[in-house]
Amino acid sequence: EVQLVESGGGLVKPGGSLRLSCAASGLKFSDFYMNWVRQAPGKGLEWVGRIKRTSAGGTTHFATPVKGRFTISRDDSSDTLYLQMNSLRTEDTAIYYCTTDMLFWGQGTLVTVSS
Amino acid sequence: QSALTQPASVSGSPGQSITISCTGTSSDVGGYNSVSWSQQHPGKAPKVIIYEDTKRPSGVSDRFSASKSGNTASLTISGLQPEDEADYYCYSYTSSDTWVFGGGTKLTVL
């Protein structure tokens, strides 16, 4: 059974940083493109960014609102995906989900940006 | 990239069928076999019920079906049940190498 477990969410002040993790199991992690998706309170889903599998170059791509502030990395040796979020803004407040190829989803971790 | 267009809400009675539309462009919905649909109950993570336009993941009821014509994809739920009441989102891969979501549709089972 595929499992994705996000962690690292919490309360952070505007301008601060946070790193989210997503631990994967039940799949060959290195084979998958991985994505982050977020959902602001009471709002719809928004794609954040993705990282290709390492064998495809491991390149990243981001949505315009987070470009230049967020980075995505992966550690295939530990089947873990990361989202480094810098220069956080109040509008980044959301539940952050990791997903494989947009098919399998984790349960999400809440990030709150507030002073 | 503009969001895909979904109706804000739909409703139906138990046993009836409903259809939710999802309209994009030739750069997303119409350009790839990559439309997915997810179901989200309050406070829960999204659950994929359709992927690659028309495929159902293992374990998803065959009451859920999907189709696509041009730049519009559709999700049909037949034999509505109370537990189908949820938010439904469509999303698609795009020519910009990104993913784009619809705004979501709230399904009410009367």
- Pairing label, strands B9-12, B105-109: parallel
Distance from CA of B100 to the nearest CA of A (A): 7
- Model confidence over B53-64: pLDDT tens digits? 999 999 999 999
Residue A101: per-residue pLDDT: 85
User: B98 — contact with chain A (CB < 8 Å)?
Assistant: yes
CB-nearest partner of B98 from A44, A47, A108? A47
Residue positions counted in chain B: 110
Which chain B residues touch A35 with a CB distance below 8 Å? Answer: 99
The per-residue pLDDT for range B33-44, each reduced to its tens digit, is 999 999 999 999
Structure tokens of B6?
A: 């979904």
**pLDDT attached to residue B2:** 75
Q: Which residues contact A64 (CB under 8 A, 6 or more apart)?
A: none
Q: Which residues of B touch A47 (CB under 8 A)?
A: 91, 98-101
Which one of B99, B105, B106 would you mutate to disrupt binding with A, by most A Cβ within 10 Å of its Cβ? B99
| Tokens matching residue A36 | 């982050």
Decide if B20 touches A, using CB distance below 8 A: no
- The residue whose two tokens read 């999802």 is B22
Please indicate if any CB of chain A lies within 8 Å of the CB of B39.
no
Give every CB contact of residue B54 below 8 A, 6+ residues apart in sequence: B65, B66, B67, B68
Residue A8 vs residues A112, B19, B36, B38: alpha-carbon distances, Å: 11, 38, 28, 25
Q: Which residues does chain B have within 8 Å of residue A44's beta carbon, measured at their own beta carbons?
A: 3, 89, 101-104
Q: Which residues in A lie closer than 8 A to residue B100 (C-beta atoms)?
A: 47
Q: What is the pLDDT along chain B (110 residues), one digit of tens a residue?
A: 679 999 999 999 999 999 999 999 999 999 999 999 999 999 999 999 999 999 999 999 999 999 999 999 999 999 999 999 999 999 999 999 999 999 999 999 99
Residues in chain A with CB shorter than 8 Å from the CB of B102 are 44
Q: Chain A residue with minimal CA distance to B48?
A: A103
- Tell me how crowded residue A44 is: count the other CB atoms within 10 A of its CB: 17
